[in-house]
Structure 1
Amino acid sequence: MVLQQKAKANVWGTAKPGSKLTIVPTWDKKAYQVNVAANGKWTAKIATPSYGGPYQIAFDDGEKLTLNNVLIGDVWLCSGQSNMEMTVGNGFGGVLNAMQEIADATKYGDIRMIKIDNKTNFQPQQEVPVKWGWRECNPENVKDFSAVAYFFARKIYQEKHIPIGLISDNWGGTVAEAWTSGTSLKTMPEFADFVKAAEGGLTQNDIENRYKTEVRHWIDRSRTDDPGYKGTTATWAQPDFNDSNWPKMQLPNFWEQAGLNNYDGSVWFRKEINVPADWAGKDLKLNIMGVDDYDVSFFNGQEVGHTEMFFYPRNYTVPGNLVKAGKNIIAVRVFDNGGLGGINKGPLTLQLVNDPAKTLDLAGEWAYQKALPLARLEQPPVLANSANRPTLIYNAMINPILDFNIKGVIWYQGESNADRAEQYKILFPLLINDWRNKFKNPNLPFYFVQIANYDCHDQPVAADWPELRFAQLQTLKLPNTGMAVTIDIGEATNIHPRNKQDVGSRLALIALAKNYGVKVPYSGPSYSSLQTKDNRVVLSFTNTSGGLISKGSAALKGFFIAGADKKFYSADATINGNTVTVSNSLVKQPVAVRYDWQNNPDGTLYNGAGLPASPFKTDDWQNIKLDPQKQ
């Protein structure tokens, strides 16, 4: 393991109840004595020297225990969502040149990592949920190391040769509010009610019941834009509706495995069945093994059931008054939030309630039609089994480690909050100040990654990555923060870009400059001010180490300019010293400039140190998206 250097390091654990525990570290051979409580718990503070090792720590409560191979160095907490969770060699395809990186890990045994397990809890916890304990960096172990964290540590170690401990505490697809304490979240009205309910004894069952209700209301609201409805009437479920021009699909099946690729949203299925004469007027049971994700089912135009549970078997009673001899129509509206979509493989039947042995097999060809794409809807409610609820991750994964001494935090998160960028401007600084308060260090370094370029074609329309990046940029107003810009090293069609080397290195540059006394550029050009001159705007920049350059293109790209009408046009841009002059002949009186203001932009502004400029805007206008093909 690694303990924080030059600190009164907190150590804690359990021992023989009521005993005296003696702790002796080999770096100073001083004996620390602690009284063990009646419940067996103990805590101690041990003075640590400057970096070095390996050392031993001996514990004795009548039974001896020795920790070996303990290094003294700097410990960094590495948190966020999947781009921090992504490993060097396992998961999401691994990093660029993974095999070589894994082989080279043999040089960096003084880098260690511990992995916190993914857990949630309604109350703050004390026990640390460990997925795997401290591991020494080597070619076998590094495969499971957080890639961003590893490359961050490697860069620092290469420069300073200080042992680095990494606490890998991250969870893919999670939102910032889940990582924030309830104490802080209660200051934000949108989260306060949930936190207060959790503090008052809210249970998982309560959450699931609330979730079902929220999904039901969400599905009901989706009828407005669904062509299968006219008002509250399900026209596509009616017996007289003509579906002869609809395509066909074999059911049960997942539609993404049956030719309907890359589609999330609602799909209507219809099937004509022939009911025996002796079934007429009798109650039937419609049995569907499961649905990905939700369904509303109809018989002869009348709703017979709905379920807001993923993969949960459906068994709907069809009232006898709807059942007639001969032709009948079954319709199922399936709504998929993401993934395969459709009706699970398994029994798909209709049977007599009073004689279940009499069954009609509904498997086979069904007519289908796409209706309402998910991208046209508001964000769906959070899944009942999701971690994405306020403060629950914090309670289980951050609260238990608060006593462990750390040097600082690196953070890579934001994609899951991109549909609420305005809120993130408050929430993200709140999280940072919250952690500083909880770790009892108001100056705790907190360095984060601005989310990378990405096509974002499968994200909801509400998601606004440029605004989220801008919210991250504004968070730099907090002291002792730093931001690694990655707008140039993402992948248009991969939300988990494989170049994690540059991500970790850019984070490390910030730490080296701010915490390790290394004089090195750590930021790309930062917009500072503007002047309007006739039909031109002159932008001034700081952090221009080595001068401003256009990298990879003779023409400086990525700038847009607008007048008071808020209509942006792709701009001509030229560099002059530490300024950039921007113009477009169609904008006679410019008032605003934006740079790299798309999900996947192509800007080329860098400084001489090879670091890219952050996307930015000079205006405070909302809900404006730039499309370089149309503007």
Structure 2
Amino acid sequence: MKILTIRWAFALFCGLWALPVFAQLTVSKLFSDHAVLQRGKEVPVWGWAPPGAEIRVLFNQKEYTTITGADGKWRVKLPAMEAGGPYEMTIAGGGDRVTFRDLLFGDVWLCSGQSNMEWILQSSLGADAEIPRANDPELRHFKVKRGGAQKPEPQLPGGDWAVCSPEKAPYFTAVGYYFAKELRRTQKVPIGLINVTWGGSRIEAWMSAEALGIENGEAMVKQIEKERKMVEENRMTLIRKKFGRVPKNDEGLQNGVAVWAATDFDDSDWPYMELPALWEDRGLKGIDGIVWFRREFTLNEAQAAQPARLFLPPIDDSDWTYINGHKVGETIGIWNEPRQYQIPAGVLQAGKNIITVRVEDTGQGGGIYGDPEIMYLAGADYKVRLDGPWRYQLAEYRSGFRHRMNLIPMMLYNKMIYPMLDFPIKGVIWYQGESNANGEDALKYADLFPALIEDWRFRFNQDDFPFLYVQLANFMEARPEPSESDWALLREAQTATLFKVPNTAQAVIIDIGDADDIHPRNKSDVGYRLALGARKLAYGEALEYMGPLFKYQKTEGKKIRIGFSHIGSGLMARDKYGYVKGFAIAGEDKHFVWAKALIEGDEVVVWSEEVPDPKYVRYAWADNPDDANLYNKEGLPASPFRTDK
């Protein structure tokens, strides 16, 4: 495609270009080199400059002018464009100018939520095979820098557009990447992803004060800040008592050298901590930041002469690990996986050895935790256990408030969503809910989630754009008997949104989660299932885009017959014998037992000899419905449901 240049307009701007150039002109951070702009809609371009300044925008051989208001804000609109590019855009005013190159028009999708949407491609299943072929110049990604504010602020905290390549794609949202990859395959237009996520965030943090029904949001946040600062002051008092100071910068690193990892470093005044354990459970409650751990072990000459392997349980969140001052490994941002590091020959020594682990915790639990049986050093013919007492020292304390803005109502909306409300988008993909899946919070989600969708649509002023979301995956230990479940309640609230809010679709993933990991690594199927919703709702394709949804139940003697919508080309059970699993049944007493179930045409018949007079049915009603196996023939799993609500 030909680059559309603006050389012809040089004369128009000669006088303006001659002005002194200094940084007075500011443009929304959404505009930069490689940006994707929404096709088929007028695109506002906006920013700030001195009040009364003339702003000139050159784009596609046309000039657009405006004057900044008293508040310094300016805004022009580019005409609706078809998919394509690349283009250039030059903006001048207030004694400054800026040119953005390699702009494309296509479809822009906002990717939001918590850590499972934030999860990068590099850390997902199949990354080693996918990343080398992630080379698509018309798939682009904008990562919004984290930030929060007491009241709506006009500028994003930061971010840049990146073109999909093996060098850049590893840091894209994995779900968003696979979603966009499918749309690139089927729609053949440029796709831009705006990644506006924060791990651990509650839904309330992404909502406006009005959506939450709060009259004075700024006052509320100030009160929360005041209360949290009191907590912080109390916490720092305890830290001073325990460590004699409140360290602000990591004293263990000096000019990049890990001085606290040296074998001759004197740690005799450091306290002891029994490991493995989260440090919150060992007296450091509410502490985020950096803690160093040291432990001594002894080897004989034969053992020290060998290479060895170090095994450690999970470390929350990141670690830098040393033996005798030599760095032997590091793992960044993976809080729930054990570590294994190779120790080359020559690092170990006969007699005393020192292992040092520098741990960084960015929020919530922190430390070296998990199974003590996987905490050891092993050579070819020996094993040294490392669980037990370790010396430790707090090296850097980080204020909890700054790192927990993701839990406070409105904070993320005010700084990460509000500044982009003028930016046209095609739709939203959303993966959030884990932080709200507890007790009453799960029930409230049934009101909060529809309110968020409707509020975003109103504020973006773009009609009922498609809002596609992921239902919570299966997680935690599977229960042997039917039981209550907060995660099932949250899934119920998510499913109910389909019937409350139009132009929405849900990707059910209770079949691809991980019992031991709240961050299942299979992100490709998640992105693909979301893309099915986009292909239907955004692009009008005639296809089945969701799994079976409960529609009705009919009692027939000792059995209950269940009907579904979204059966596609038919129901099926993923079982070589055709058995349908995951159903429970109860009578008037609501005492649920596992049920037998068979597919009969477009319905499922459910019964149990233990329940002669059945009234209610549940399907996949559990934190981890690990054996639920009802699908449509398009391969999409049925959504969990209950009829006893």
TM over 0.5: yes
Structure 2 match to 1:572: 596
Report the aligned-residue RMSD: 3.0
Give 1:590 shift.
0.7
Correspondence list, 1:418-429, <5 A: 418-419=437-438, 420-429=441-450
Structure 2 match to 1:46: 78
Counterpart code for 1:476: L
Give 1:36 shift.
3.0
Correspondence list, 1:311-390, <5 A: 338-340=365-367, 385-387=403-405, 388-390=407-409
Structure 2 match to 1:128: 156
Match of 1:74 among 97, 107, 118: 107
Structure 2 match to 1:398: 417
* Whole-angstrom distance in 2 between the partners of 1:105 and 1:415: 29
* Whole-angstrom distance in 2 between the partners of 1:402 and 1:45: 14
Give 1:396 shift.
1.1
Structure 2 match to 1:497: 520
Structure 2 match to 1:506: 529
Q: Is the CA contact 2:279–2:285 (under 8 Å) kept in the aligned structure 1?
A: no
* Whole-angstrom distance in 1 between the partners of 2:50 and 2:147: 29
User: Does 1:618 pair with 2:643?
Assistant: yes
Residue ranges of structure 2 left out of the alignment (5+ in a row): 1-34, 236-268, 292-362, 370-387, 391-399
Give 1:337 shift.
7.0
Q: Is the CA contact 1:549–1:606 (under 8 Å) kept in the aligned structure 2?
A: yes
User: Does 1:174 pair with 2:196?
Assistant: no
Counterpart code for 2:131: I
User: Does 1:25 pair with 2:25?
Assistant: no
* Whole-angstrom distance in 2 between the partners of 1:123 and 1:449: 29
Task: Say which is worse superposed, 36-45 or 436-445, in terms of deviation.
Answer: 36-45
Task: Say which is worse superposed, 145-154 or 8-17, in terms of deviation.
Answer: 8-17
Residues 211 and 597 (structure 1), Cα distance of their counterparts in 2 relative to 1, 3 Å cut: farther
Give 1:251 shift.
8.6
Structure 2 match to 1:518: 541
Task: Say which is worse superposed, 599-608 or 32-41, in terms of deviation.
Answer: 32-41
Q: Is the CA contact 1:13–1:41 (under 8 Å) kept in the aligned structure 2?
A: yes
Match of 1:476 among 492, 498, 502: 498
Structure 1 match to 2:118: 85
Structure 2 match to 1:6: 40
Give 1:186 shift.
2.2
* Whole-angstrom distance in 2 between the partners of 1:264 and 1:561: 43
Q: Is the CA contact 1:254–1:341 (under 8 Å) kept in the aligned structure 2?
A: no
Counterpart code for 2:630: L
Correspondence list, 1:225-374, <5 A: 252-257=271-276, 261=277, 291-293=283-285, 338-340=365-367
Structure 1 match to 2:324: none
* SS of residue matched to 1:479: coil
* SS of residue matched to 1:532: strand
Q: C-alpha offsets along residues 11-55 of structure 1, whole Å, 9 cap, x if unaligned?
A: 1123465332222222xx222111134664311111131111111
Residues 573 and 43 (structure 1), Cα distance of their counterparts in 2 relative to 1, 3 Å cut: same
Structure 1 match to 2:146: 118
User: Does 1:537 pair with 2:560?
Assistant: yes
User: Does 1:105 pair with 2:137?
Assistant: no
* Whole-angstrom distance in 2 between the partners of 1:456 and 1:178: 29
Q: C-alpha offsets along residues 115-134 of structure 1, whole Å, 9 cap, x if unaligned?
A: 1111111111111111x301
Q: C-alpha offsets along residues 563-607 of structure 1, whole Å, 9 cap, x if unaligned?
A: 111111111100011100000001011111011111111111000
* SS of residue matched to 2:37: strand
* Whole-angstrom distance in 2 between the partners of 1:311 and 1:117: 20
* Whole-angstrom distance in 2 between the partners of 1:337 and 1:64: 44
* Whole-angstrom distance in 2 between the partners of 1:208 and 1:63: 41
User: Does 1:34 pair with 2:66?
Assistant: yes
User: Does 1:197 pair with 2:226?
Assistant: no
TM-score, L = length of structure 1: 0.70
* SS of residue matched to 1:181: coil
* Whole-angstrom distance in 2 between the partners of 1:312 and 1:163: 42
* Whole-angstrom distance in 2 between the partners of 1:40 and 1:485: 46
Counterpart code for 1:567: H
Counterpart code for 1:430: A
Q: C-alpha offsets along residues 389-448 of structure 1, whole Å, 9 cap, x if unaligned?
A: 111111111111111111111100000000021111111111111211211234122110
Residues 71 and 162 (structure 1), Cα distance of their counterparts in 2 relative to 1, 3 Å cut: same
* Whole-angstrom distance in 2 between the partners of 1:11 and 1:129: 18
Structure 1 match to 2:467: 446
* SS of residue matched to 1:204: helix
Counterpart code for 2:436: N
Structure 1 match to 2:98: 65
* SS of residue matched to 1:549: strand
Q: C-alpha offsets along residues 54-100 of structure 1, whole Å, 9 cap, x if unaligned?
A: 111122336553211100011111000000000001xxxx1111022
* Whole-angstrom distance in 2 between the partners of 1:251 and 1:15: 54
Structure 2 match to 1:224: none
Residues 427 and 254 (structure 1), Cα distance of their counterparts in 2 relative to 1, 3 Å cut: farther
Counterpart code for 1:590: P
* Whole-angstrom distance in 1 between the partners of 2:63 and 2:280: 65
Residue ranges of structure 1 left out of the alignment (5+ in a row): 215-249, 268-290, 295-308, 314-335, 343-363, 367-381, 621-631
Task: Say which is worse superposed, 463-472 or 436-445, in terms of deviation.
Answer: 436-445
* SS of residue matched to 2:110: strand
Residues 251 and 55 (structure 1), Cα distance of their counterparts in 2 relative to 1, 3 Å cut: closer
Residues 384 and 67 (structure 1), Cα distance of their counterparts in 2 relative to 1, 3 Å cut: closer
Residues 292 and 64 (structure 1), Cα distance of their counterparts in 2 relative to 1, 3 Å cut: closer
Structure 1 match to 2:427: 408
Counterpart code for 1:614: S
Q: C-alpha offsets along residues 354-410 of structure 1, whole Å, 9 cap, x if unaligned?
A: xxxxxxxxxx989xxxxxxxxxxxxxxx97851201111111111111111111111
Residues 476 and 253 (structure 1), Cα distance of their counterparts in 2 relative to 1, 3 Å cut: farther
Residues 99 and 310 (structure 1), Cα distance of their counterparts in 2 relative to 1, 3 Å cut: closer
Give 1:526 shift.
1.1
Q: How many residues align?
A: 471
* Whole-angstrom distance in 2 between the partners of 1:50 and 1:454: 43
Residues 509 and 311 (structure 1), Cα distance of their counterparts in 2 relative to 1, 3 Å cut: closer
* SS of residue matched to 1:453: coil
Q: Is the CA contact 2:274–2:389 (under 8 Å) kept in the aligned structure 1?
A: no
Structure 1 match to 2:630: 605
* Whole-angstrom distance in 1 between the partners of 2:605 and 2:101: 60
Q: Is the CA contact 1:208–1:384 (under 8 Å) kept in the aligned structure 2?
A: no
* Whole-angstrom distance in 2 between the partners of 1:135 and 1:253: 46
Counterpart code for 1:127: Q
Q: Is the CA contact 2:485–2:622 (under 8 Å) kept in the aligned structure 1?
A: no
Task: Give the share of equivalent positions with the same residue, in percent.
Answer: 41
Counterpart code for 1:121: A
Q: Is the CA contact 1:111–1:165 (under 8 Å) kept in the aligned structure 2?
A: yes
TM-score, L = length of structure 2: 0.68
Residues 105 and 60 (structure 1), Cα distance of their counterparts in 2 relative to 1, 3 Å cut: same
Q: Is the CA contact 2:288–2:366 (under 8 Å) kept in the aligned structure 1?
A: no
* Whole-angstrom distance in 1 between the partners of 2:126 and 2:470: 22
Q: Is the CA contact 2:150–2:414 (under 8 Å) kept in the aligned structure 1?
A: yes
* Whole-angstrom distance in 2 between the partners of 1:415 and 1:46: 40
Counterpart code for 1:5: R
* Whole-angstrom distance in 1 between the partners of 2:280 and 2:163: 46
